[in-house]
Each structure stands twice: as structure tokens, then as C-alpha cells.
């Protein structure tokens, strides 16, 4: 039995609203902890790991607002929660925070053995430790407050690259990353930051120019988590 535990801020079932799996019923596992420091982050409550904020799983599942509180659960306990909550989705999205701060092999192995598919959403600033079948979404965070570089190993492991954009500089940063890390056939999505009209127009124009894809955060437009 694997007793590795993971610090979980949220665990819920919804529809994936971004990237290649847009529209896919999914169970989100949001891990606590992230030192990257993205200025536009919409989950800043997951940044700090405060040991005094640990709470029982039942309280974590019952949270009605964003807090820094988290629960420690093993893969077996996570699967038990799925059963108890009556979740129907078979696709798992492991996000954060920054999920690749920890070894995700034990978690993804247990989930896959139980019949689930796994997806990780990472900033590309930590080594991706997961199973061979896990879908890895790298959303590269360039020149953020934390000062972490984008790793070649993460970029080349990516099954898709999903890049948030608001300015031409963000596009230039991505083009530089693609060249630096020798990315060729990986699907690339541009995601307008904060759904602003100017950012969306830039993303659409750039996608057409480079034959990339658009990710519009569908969940935010239809008002679900």
C-alpha cells in the first residue's frame, strides 16, 4: 500500500475548460504550494504551505470559499473520496499551486491502476515526475517573481504547451522558448489573460499567424469552477 501523502487544497468534479481536454468531465486535484509567483495567478491561496492550516479531509471538501487550508491524503484516501463523493468523471487534472514540486508517480500510478486517465498542469519550472501515460500540460511561466527558469526537460515532456498572453512580449517569450528548447510538433495553445478583449484579439491573431490553437477558459465564461 502506498502511503505517500499529498497536500490538497481542493478536490472537486467539473468540466475541464482549457487546452486539448476542453469539455472533458474531470476531477480536479489542486495541490498546495507554489513559489513561482505569477502576478495574474487566480489561485494565490495555494502558494504558501502553512502547517497550521492543515485540516481534515471532510472540512477541505466542504470549503465554500478559497482559503489556504489543506488536507494531507494518500492515493488510496483520494480514491476513497472519489467513491464517497460519487464522482463519475474518469479524467483527473492535477494542478495547483505547482504540482511538480512533488513526485507524482505514486499518485498517477494509483489513479491509472484504478482506471483513470491523468493530466498534470505545470509551470515548467520543476522536473516532471509522473507516469509515461500521464498527459502533461506545460504553461511556461517566464521571468516571474520566484525567478525559476523553464526547464528543457519539462518543455520536452509536454504533451501540450498552454501559454497565457496579454502582450506581444508574451508571444515573443514563447517563440524564444520554442527555439531554445527545440519544440517542434507539440500542440501550442494561447490563453488570453483575464479574458480581456485586447488579449483575446492578440491571441486569435497570433494563433492564425503561427497555426497554433486558442484556449479561452470556457469554465470562466459559463460560470463554473
How confident is residue 220, by pLDDT bands cut at 50, 70 and 90?
low
Is 80 strand, coil or helix?
A: helix
Q: Is 8 annotated as a binding residue?
A: no
Q: Is 147 annotated as a binding residue?
A: no
The dihedrals phi and psi of 217, each to the nearest 5 degrees, come to 50, 65
Q: Which residue has the higher pLDDT, 143 or 78?
A: 78
> What's the CA gap between 123 and 169, in Å, rounded?
18
* Direct distance between the N- and C-terminal alpha carbons of the chain, in angstroms, rounded to an integer: 32
Q: Is 162 annotated as a binding residue?
A: no
Longest dimension (CA), the chain: 51
Mention the CATH class of domain 6-163.
alpha beta
Is 159 strand, coil or helix?
A: coil
Q: Is 134 annotated as a binding residue?
A: no
Q: Is 43 annotated as a binding residue?
A: yes
Cβ neighbors of 152 (< 8 A, separation 6 or more) are: 180, 181
By C-alpha distance, which of 123, 107, 117, 11 is closest to 56? Answer: 11
Q: Is 17 annotated as a binding residue?
A: yes
Q: Is 97 annotated as a binding residue?
A: yes
Task: Summarize pLDDT for 148-200 with one digit per residue, the tens.
Answer: 999 999 999 999 999 999 999 999 999 999 999 999 999 999 999 877 789 89
Sign (positive/negative) of CA torsion 5, 8, 13, 18? negative
What is the value of pTM for the model shown? 0.93
Contact 136, 158 (CB under 8 A): yes
Q: Residue 186 is placed in which grid cell?
A: 507539440
**Does residue 223 have a pLDDT over 70?**
no
Domain ranges of the chain: 6-163
Q: Is 198 annotated as a binding residue?
A: no
Q: Is 115 annotated as a binding residue?
A: no
Amino acid at each position: 500500500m502506498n502511503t505517500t501523502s499529498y497536500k490538497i487544497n481542493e478536490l472537486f468534479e467539473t468540466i475541464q475548460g482549457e487546452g486539448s481536454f476542453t469539455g472533458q468531465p474531470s476531477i480536479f486535484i489542486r495541490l498546495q504550494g507554489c513559489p513561482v509567483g505569477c502576478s495574474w495567478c487566480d489561485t494565490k491561496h495555494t502558494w504558501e504551505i502553512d502547517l497550521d492550516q492543515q485540516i481534515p479531509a471532510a472540512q477541505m471538501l466542504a470549503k465554500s470559499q478559497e482559503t489556504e487550508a489543506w488536507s494531507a491524503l494518500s492515493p488510496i484516501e483520494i480514491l476513497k473520496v472519489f467513491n464517497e463523493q460519487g464522482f463519475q468523471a474518469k479524467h483527473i487534472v492535477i494542478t495547483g499551486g505547482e504540482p511538480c514540486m512533488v513526485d507524482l508517480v505514486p499518485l498517477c500510478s494509483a489513479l491509472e491502476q484504478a482506471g483513470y486517465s491523468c493530466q498534470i498542469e505545470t509551470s515548467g519550472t520543476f522536473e516532471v515526475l509522473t507516469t509515461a501515460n500521464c498527459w502533461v500540460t506545460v504553461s511556461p511561466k517566464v521571468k516571474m517573481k520566484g525567478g525559476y527558469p523553464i526547464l528543457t526537460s519539462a518543455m520536452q515532456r509536454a504533451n501540450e504547451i498552454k501559454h497565457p498572453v496579454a502582450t506581444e512580449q508574451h508571444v515573443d517569450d514563447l517563440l524564444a522558448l520554442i527555439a531554445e528548447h527545440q519544440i517542434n510538433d507539440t500542440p501550442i495553445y494561447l490563453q488570453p489573460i483575464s479574458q480581456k478583449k485586447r488579449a483575446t484579439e492578440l491571441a486569435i491573431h497570433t494563433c492564425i499567424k503561427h497555426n497554433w490553437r486558442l484556449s479561452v477558459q470556457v469554465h470562466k465564461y459559463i460560470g463554473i469552477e
